[in-house]
Structure 1
Amino acid sequence: MRLLLRVLAPLLGLLLAVVGLAVVVETVTLWVSPTSSPLIVPWPTWLAAAEGLTWQSGSVRAAAVVVGIVGLFVLILGLVARRHDVFLADPVPEVTVTTSPRSIARAVGHEVRAHDEVVSASVVASAKKVTVKAATLDPAEEVRATLRDLVETTLARLPLARRPRVAVSVTTTKGVK
């Protein structure tokens, strides 16, 4: 989502700049020579077409709906693409410290993968929850309890302002020990 916003924001900015430049050019042209025809935008034709429109016209309502939908899309896109920072314990009241969920997942994943009984693991973290999916050659229930304690210990070492929930799932893989 953030990538889409990084592409969409400059394009919308460029579009607004071009429209603003066209308005400035047309205004200066009208001031300099009031009797001349428009330079870039055929605004007299547009003005004549718009004089017959009312709020009840289908084209006006359709344009309003399209603008509303595009605006709602951009608003939702902006809200969804915000940074999902995880707050850490503040060292002093004037300082706010944050980290990314990816950093927490990386720290937990490093500890989980370093465990002898784990063959592979994936970790997904957010401010509210850390989910660990691991594979082992040993019985899954024994390893699950150990990994849960390991994840809890790892999270306890981090200066998190709020402790996330932990979900650990372990599967036993087939293979020779």
Structure 2
Amino acid sequence: MRVVLRLLSPLLGLLVAAVGVLTALEVIVAWVAPSSSPLVVPWPTWQAALAGLTWSSAAVRGVAIGVGVVGLLVLLVGLVARRHDVTLTEPVPEVTVTTSPRSLARAVGHEVRSHSDVVSASVVASPKKVVVRAGTLDTPEEVRTAVRERVDEALGRLPLARRPRVSVTVAATKGVK
């Protein structure tokens, strides 16, 4: 979702800048030569069409509803795209300490991969959950217990304000030991 915001923000900024430049040019042309035709935008035609509208007109209400819906969608995209940091315990009340989910996954992944029976591992972390998928050449159930203990130890060493749920999946991989 953050990618959408990173694309949407410059596009909206360019659109607002273009409208501003176009408005400035139209105003300058209207001041310099009031009797000439508009530069790009047909303002006199629009003014005549809008003169008959009131605040209670269906078109005005429809545009207002449309603008409101688009505004709510942009607000929702912004709220969903916020960064979901993992909160750590505060060393002092005035200091807030956070880390990224990627760093938490990297720390847990390093611990999982250091186990001698694990041949491959992937870790995905969020503030609420850590998901570990590991591959082994041995019996998956035995390795799963050992990996789960290592993940619990790694999370225990970290100063996490809230301990995430842990999900460990170990599958047998093909290969020669």
The TM-score, its normalising length taken from structure 2, stands at 0.86
Pair 1:90 & 2:90 matched: yes
2: CA distance, partners of 1:113 / 1:151: 11
Amino acid in the other structure paired with 2:71:
G
Tell me the SS of whatever aligns to 2:84: coil
Pair 1:6 & 2:6 matched: yes
In the alignment, which residue of structure 1 is the partner of 2:45? 45
Tell me the SS of whatever aligns to 1:138: coil
In the alignment, which residue of structure 2 is the partner of 1:149? 149
In the alignment, which residue of structure 2 is the partner of 1:116? 116
Shift of 1:125: 0.3
2: CA distance, partners of 1:26 / 1:53: 23
Amino acid in the other structure paired with 1:72:
L
In the alignment, which residue of structure 2 is the partner of 1:128? 128
Deviations 1:127-150 (A, max 9, x none): 111111112122222111111110
2: CA distance, partners of 1:96 / 1:61: 46
In the alignment, which residue of structure 2 is the partner of 1:22? 22
Shift of 1:23: 2.1
In the alignment, which residue of structure 2 is the partner of 1:67? 67
Q: What is the percent sequence identity of the aligned residues?
A: 67
In the alignment, which residue of structure 1 is the partner of 2:79? 79
The TM-score, its normalising length taken from structure 1, stands at 0.86
Unaligned ranges ≥5, structure 1: none
Amino acid in the other structure paired with 1:140:
P
2: CA distance, partners of 1:56 / 1:151: 63
In the alignment, which residue of structure 1 is the partner of 2:100? 100
Shift of 1:165: 1.2
Amino acid in the other structure paired with 1:74:
V
